[in-house]
Structure 1
Amino acid sequence: MTSPATKLRKPLYAKNGVDSSSSNGGKSRQPKASIFDVKAGSPPVLVPESPLINFLSQLSLHQRKGIQNIRLTQSLGYATNHVFSDADELYLWLSPGERLISNFPWPAEQYRKKWFRVDLTAPFVLQFAESVTDADALQHIVGRAYF
């Protein structure tokens, strides 16, 4: 003996997401969770900072383009061995913006040595580049560890 198939009621949806005949008594649904929902309030504001970022931020775009084939190593405060075509490409990879509002780090932050607190001078940084145009003009620049 087979039982008759039970017919399920089709759900009713209103334009505002509230169905007065629904089981929740006509209360509106909760909005979807956002990646920016943080229990303590607003998402954190991340400021990209390291001695190398501070050094590169003091250079003009023309000076950063003049530093060719620079290698990012542990001596510069990052646990990687990436090679960048110029220092501007490196700078954009290290700090994608002045301030970031996000719960997730950017790729360079995963490689940054958080304990690295060495002031980087121009002669030290430039030894990791294959060629530098107008290196004498960069000699006075120092990337400080402010944090």
Structure 2
Amino acid sequence: MERPSSLLQATSGSLHGYPKWPPTLVPSRRQRASRPLCSREMAAAAEGLAAYRAVLRAARRTFAGDQLMLKESAVEIRRRFEDHRGLAPGSDEAARALADAREAAHFITHMIVQATRAPSGSFVVKPESVHAGATLEVPSEEILSKLK
């Protein structure tokens, strides 16, 4: 299958600007034709699909009304999952990738707030109930020095 040459091709013909076929930890079509999927592989594929949909859902809620961010986030999410397509089901690396996807969905939902432009030209941030209690530690000089 030929890769899309532009963002428009990558998202055309899809629902809400998201690519049609979500990538999962499923083997390629050629690999599936040579042997059927076992139950462990099917479970891993279902888990990968659920994680993919959760991240897309989080992005869709967070960036509602911002078509550019919706499309760009969908392309980036797709790219990240495609990078992990060949991981063996049940491997430590696959489990880590799924945990990262779940963490990304949580972070997008709870830590990102979409700002809107007010008529005066400034930006207005309206946190929702999911953002209540969410804090992000601002790094101090002490913390930064420990990282070096």
**How does the TM-score come out when normalised to structure 1?**
0.30
Q: Which has the higher helix share?
A: 2
**Structure of higher CA gyration radius:** 1
**How does the TM-score come out when normalised to structure 2?**
0.30
